[in-house]
Amino acid sequence: MKKHHRQHYFSSAHLRYSLFLIVLISLLTILLFSFAIRLIGEFMEDLGYEMQGNIPALIVVIIGYAVIVFSLTYYFSHRFIGPFERLKTDMSIILGGFYHRRLITRERDDIYIRSFVDEVNNMLDEFESLCISRQGLRDILHKDMKGIIDLLDDEGTSKEDLRESLLALRGKLERLTEKACKEPAE
């Protein structure tokens, strides 16, 4: 039974749009700070301070700019880089044999990362299905091969009984392995 997952497909246009917004925000921030320098300088002069090159205003603006850069860096790194530590931990758990587990993202994680995780979870669905099939194959082989060995040990077994047991085993194996893996492209 195949589960249906929400799929996202993005083009490079989405990435360009995101970068455009980041650059636009940066330019608007610079304009805002330039305006703030002038306002702070005028305010300081109104208070009676004599300004030489608006140095105090420049210091206030640089501190403000540093706070905004730190905040934006923290925000974007949290959205883009933050999910990878969780994903790495989840992958280790899955590789430990818990094939039913799936990767989880948060709603505030980057949409490209969420889209990628959806595709990885689709691949994990297929992998889990293969593991279940492999376990079924192992169980059938163990049970039916034991039965065939018992037939061989029984001196009264006819060739026809042995042949029927082997054909039944072959049929079971074919049904379990009917979904073939694709050959690698050259």
Per-residue pLDDT, averaged over 112-131, amounts to: 87
CA 70 vs CA 33, 135, 153: distances in Å: 15, 52, 77
CA distance 106 to 9: 18
Could you tell me the pLDDT band of residue 7, with boundaries at 50, 70 and 90? very low
What does the domain layout of the chain look like in residue ranges? 10-80, 84-178
Residue showing tokens 């490079």: 12
Could you tell me the pLDDT band of residue 122, with boundaries at 50, 70 and 90? very high
Per-residue pLDDT, averaged over 154-158, amounts to: 83
List the one residue out of 185, 144, 134, 137 whose CA is nearest residue 166.
Answer: 144
Q: Is the pLDDT of residue 104 over 80?
A: yes
User: Residue 135 has what pLDDT?
Assistant: 84
User: Residue 174 has what pLDDT?
Assistant: 80
CA distance 31 to 106: 34
User: Residue 2 has what pLDDT?
Assistant: 46
Report residue 6 CA to chain centroid gap.
Answer: 14
Tokens, residue 148: 């065939």
